[in-house]
Structure 1
Amino acid sequence: MTRFTTLALAGALALGLWAAPTPPQAQQDKNVLVWGDTLPAGLDPHAIFDVPMQFILLNMYDTLYRYSGNPPELQPWLASAHQVSEDGLTWTFKLVPGAKFHDGSPVSANDVVYSFRRLLGMKRGPAGAFLPVLKPDNVTAPDAETVRFVLDKPYAPFLAAIPLVAIVNQKQVEANVKDNDFGSTWLSANDAGSGPYRLDPASYRPREALDLIRNKDHFKGWADNAKPIDLVRSRPVAETSTRVLALMRGEIDATDSYLPTDQVERVEKNARTRVARDESMRVFIIRMNNKKPPFDNANARKCFASAFNYDGFNQVILKGYVDRNPGPNPRNLWGNPPNLAGYKFDPAAAKAYCDKAKAEGAKLDREVEIHIQSELEQTSQAAQMFQADLQKLGIKMKIVPSTWPQITSATGKPETSPDLWIHWVSTYFVDPENWIGQMYDTQFFGTWKASSYYGNPEVDELLRKARSTSTKAERDKLYQQATARIVEDSPDIWVYNTIQLRGLSKRVQGYKFSPVGGGGDLRWMSLSE
């Protein structure tokens, strides 16, 4: 069986899980949305930190604050307001009255305290944003509607990172703790949230299927959406061409947010579908393992950075649907030096860097491996183009098909992390800390964000000072200095900032994009007749 046949069969089987019993027209007769985007490996929002989990976080759970709009802005959510002490250490949040979990119990300050303590105790998922500055015992509830955080040291991105933390139902989770697992085994397949949609547990199959039922009693109400969607069936389709075909046939209402550019015209020509195009803050990166030869040599890294054909990929393969991004932060975010040039495709410069690296003893004669996400076609396209250009320099590179969970598992140690791997860094929260701060500070080694294992004491000092400085103007200067130094060291290859492309059925109304969540906020959507 060929690889193409295997992938097509996998896609067809994925569709067969749900599409066969329900013809497209029957779906349209019901208030049912079929969402074709990727699901996370599990449902515990404190255990997983990736783009698919943002869909779960936005819809099954609530947070103290959350982002909306583009550019994204913080707005109070479960919290009505907050105060911060002059020294930047004490943060106090007041909760809104009337919020309830899906089991009908009220959301209290104790649940918020439990949620943060659980996250910090598990030390997984988004905990990395808080562990350096917050101890579990320093999250307290002075009363039923007040939560207080006392930081070990000032942390300027604290409020920006607050939307990372889902508030879970303490009573439900604690009732399902086994062997000191924080209830994670149970929560990975169940729902303990208060969000606008609740899980139908009978529907859930990890990474394959999930049904969400509208929470009619959600504390924000539904008055701003006259026809909210009552049932959402999340049914990922693994293979790109199968996913696009399913959208055009009316079998799904939305693709993932990585629609290949060569499919845009096809989707837009179809009478029943359209493409949502939105400027995001999602950076496409080729990581280099700085602890493995030859990438432990700066000139070798610069050789690879100069050998990637940025314009060929961005303008030809991706047809200009992206913006060149010369550094680790999105170009539409503060903290970037003005006129940052970055690297450009220059075979002569690449050869000169390679020659310098060889003279310094870099091992450029071994075959390197680049790991791609086989379900995302762009990663394969980038690797194939890169492979061809490196071959002209006498460098052999093997393309290794993989998946997001496999790659992120491997990146926990430099010994197991790939030589190179391709991924995007998306907007989990809107602050340079989300990108440069957690990607290049050595204290984050062991996380997928810091998987290039780049270390520079000067950069560590700049990043740590930036996150502890209260004024944005001063932080901006520090991040600019850090960015310039990082780009000079070339630990990774930064390619573009994404124009997000998502295929949608024209019957989907009220789709609202924000870089945080990528447009997966269901509470605004409705279906036309």
Structure 2
Amino acid sequence: MTTVSRPRLLLAGAAALALAVTGCGAKTKDEAATAAGTSTAAGGSDVLTIPYLADMSVPDPDVFYDIEGNSVILNTYQGLVKYAPDSTTIVGALAQSFTESKDRLTYTFKLKPGVTFHSGAKMTSADVKASFERRLKVNQAPAYMLANVKTMSTPDPLTFVVKLKSPVDPFMAYMASSWGPKVIGPAALKTHAGSDFGQKWMRTHEDGTGPFELTSFQRGRQYTLTRYPGYYGAKPFFREVDIKITPDIGTQRLELQNGDLDAVLHSFPASELASLPSSLQIKRENSFLRLLMYVNTNKAPFNDPAVRRGLRSALDIDQLVTQAYSDTATKSVGPYPTALLSGQPALPYKPDPAAAKAAASKASTKSIVMAYTADESGVQRRVSETLQAQLTQAGYKVTLKEVQLPQTYAYIKDLKHAPDLLLATNTPDAAHPDTWARILFQSKGGLNFLGYSNPALDKALDDALPATPAQADADYRKVGQQIIGSDSLFFLGDVKDVFVLKKGLTGVSHVPAYPWTVDYADLKR
């Protein structure tokens, strides 16, 4: 199975803003506003103003693999299927129906008629096939979702057929993922394809089928989404969505309270939620975001399994979740997000100071470094300080170190000099246990930052991929139990998506598998 590397901006603010400003599209925000005679300030009846903490990488769905930027991708492009709101149920998007063969090798998608791209071209199955082929040619991180495809065919303009080399239990979950294959129009695939499959043009442009067009992309400043008049679905309430790059949560908070923004969709300080003015509302939504503590098993003291096991007894997870997250997170109960796998093994974490001290006394060194990834609302810092106090009580001398997200991807190259413990928040690619276990537990998984390696576990994951759903679930439970028993990764909290919005906004549509994201087409003022 292809190794997945995923430099997601889970903790926004890590990326520096580019100095150059680049526009895109034939219409600018100001031109559109002037033509409509409508104010673009927050509070305007049909203009929505939303902040990002950092730039998205690129608005190219075959390259994009962050979280900041999901709302741009999901509101301009569409895949064949998607998840229903507040659910893990897969429903049609551009496909009005889909079937799976008995041997689980052939998937047939019947497309919706009358769909057009933002360039005006009519969508057919040939465009779907060309889009899937482009993903494989571009071969960036999300390409792994199509790695097992054997053939693709287009029996008629509204039928698309995919045949796999072997069964892939999470295949439809890949299709529904926010990072899953999207259908791209001829403006990118033909008119501006060039020698790089249109990648240069798609750094600042798009040609999707979604309810909004990307009409301006000013890196470091603002992106503008404009309602697409040819959209086949219900007409969105908002004519325009202005996404402002505001790399400071304090500034975002003040602008929201002053009426210059309509919503803050992530990183709002949990400690301040209880004191919000009556003009604002809070939406707490289930998500698959999880707070994790990685353990470096490649050097002392935690290369000793008995010393690692003592960490279980040192942790008071109820305390750290309550202190750091208030009511915006709950204690994890298993190795997978709960909605991804039923009957998964329970986490054996229970504070026992005496047992924690006994295990720590056997450690070859008691001086350890705990790194935590920087985030704008300070949650990771508060968690690390609570853990520092708990581990100090057990007998360790803990040095805390704030790091930027890109640093965590480099640890695998020099594990002997990597931190002993690492706090980070991550999310699966889709609502399927494989999309969590493969990137996090596998020896070469893209989110296995501190290099835990277990060949037997790797084999179990590969065995689960073609298995029947029932057998696959049993395999994933065994894998989860192996990870728990290894004490190489501790599952601390299940983090909610918290949206703070103006009181007049309604129609908040959210999917747990699409973090930090609402459907702009469903919002109304």
Moved more, 245-254 or 153-162: 245-254
For 1:140 and 1:419, the matched residues in 2 are separated by 50
| Letter of the structure 2 residue corresponding to residue 491 of structure 1 | S
Deviation at 1:29, TM superposition (A): 3.3
Deviation at 1:394, TM superposition (A): 4.8
Task: Check if 1:436 corresponds to 2:430.
Answer: no
| Contact 1:281 1:515 survives alignment (8 Å) | yes
User: What is the aligned partner in structure 2 of residue 4 from structure 1?
Assistant: none
Distance 1:414 1:328, change over 3 A: farther
Deviation at 1:67, TM superposition (A): 1.0
| Contact 2:310 2:356 survives alignment (8 Å) | yes
| Contact 1:72 1:430 survives alignment (8 Å) | yes
Deviation at 1:165, TM superposition (A): 1.6
Give the TM-score taking structure 2 as reference length. 0.84
| Letter of the structure 1 residue corresponding to residue 355 of structure 2 | A
Which one of 156, 163, 168 corresponds to residue 184 of structure 2?
168
| Letter of the structure 2 residue corresponding to residue 142 of structure 1 | P
Deviation at 1:61, TM superposition (A): 0.5
Gaps of 5+ in 2: 1-12, 18-28, 30-38
Q: Helix, strand or coil for the counterpart of 1:521?
A: coil
For 2:285 and 2:81, the matched residues in 1 are separated by 23
> What aligned pairs does 1:26-425 form with structure 2 within 5 A after superposition?
26-38=41-53, 39-131=55-147, 133-134=148-149, 138-163=151-176, 164-177=180-193, 180-201=195-216, 203-206=217-220, 208-222=221-235, 228-267=237-276, 270-291=277-298, 293-337=300-344, 340-358=346-364, 364-365=365-366, 367-404=368-405, 406-407=406-407, 409-410=409-410, 413=413, 415=415, 419-425=420-426
Sequence identity (%): 25
Distance 1:376 1:182, change over 3 A: farther
For 1:353 and 1:134, the matched residues in 2 are separated by 49
User: What is the aligned partner in structure 1 of residue 508 from structure 2?
Assistant: 511
For 1:481 and 1:232, the matched residues in 2 are separated by 45
Q: Higher helix share goes to which structure?
A: 1
User: What is the aligned partner in structure 2 of residue 3 from structure 1?
Assistant: none
| Letter of the structure 2 residue corresponding to residue 190 of structure 1 | H
Gaps of 5+ in 1: 1-6, 12-17, 19-23, 359-363
| Letter of the structure 1 residue corresponding to residue 261 of structure 2 | I
| Letter of the structure 2 residue corresponding to residue 496 of structure 1 | G
Q: Helix, strand or coil for the counterpart of 1:524?
A: coil
Distance 1:377 1:349, change over 3 A: same
Deviation at 1:301, TM superposition (A): 3.5
Q: Helix, strand or coil for the counterpart of 1:515?
A: coil
For 2:60 and 2:40, the matched residues in 1 are separated by 34
Distance 1:218 1:153, change over 3 A: same
For 1:326 and 1:383, the matched residues in 2 are separated by 20
Q: Helix, strand or coil for the counterpart of 1:83?
A: strand
For 1:92 and 1:150, the matched residues in 2 are separated by 9
Give per-residue Cα distances to partners, 1:150-203, cap 9 Å, x unaligned: 21211111011102222222442454456x5433233222212221111123x4
User: What is the aligned partner in structure 1 of residue 477 from structure 2?
Assistant: 480
Over the aligned positions, Cα root-mean-square deviation in angstroms equals 2.9
Give per-residue Cα distances to partners, 1:323-343, cap 9 Å, x unaligned: 2114331124324425x1332
For 1:507 and 1:271, the matched residues in 2 are separated by 11
Distance 1:36 1:76, change over 3 A: same
For 1:62 and 1:378, the matched residues in 2 are separated by 33
> What aligned pairs does 1:462-501 form with structure 2 within 5 A after superposition?
462-471=460-469, 473-501=470-498
For 1:247 and 1:484, the matched residues in 2 are separated by 44
Distance 1:122 1:421, change over 3 A: farther
Distance 1:175 1:398, change over 3 A: farther
Give the TM-score taking structure 1 as reference length. 0.83
Deviation at 1:378, TM superposition (A): 1.0
Q: Helix, strand or coil for the counterpart of 2:90?
A: strand
Give per-residue Cα distances to partners, 1:399-458, cap 9 Å, x unaligned: 443444x2465367465976543332335311111212332123x43x2x3334322233
User: What is the aligned partner in structure 1 of residue 8 from structure 2?
Assistant: none
Distance 1:244 1:291, change over 3 A: same
For 1:219 and 1:159, the matched residues in 2 are separated by 24
| Letter of the structure 1 residue corresponding to residue 234 of structure 2 | G
Give per-residue Cα distances to partners, 1:291-322, cap 9 Å, x unaligned: 45544443444344543431111123322432
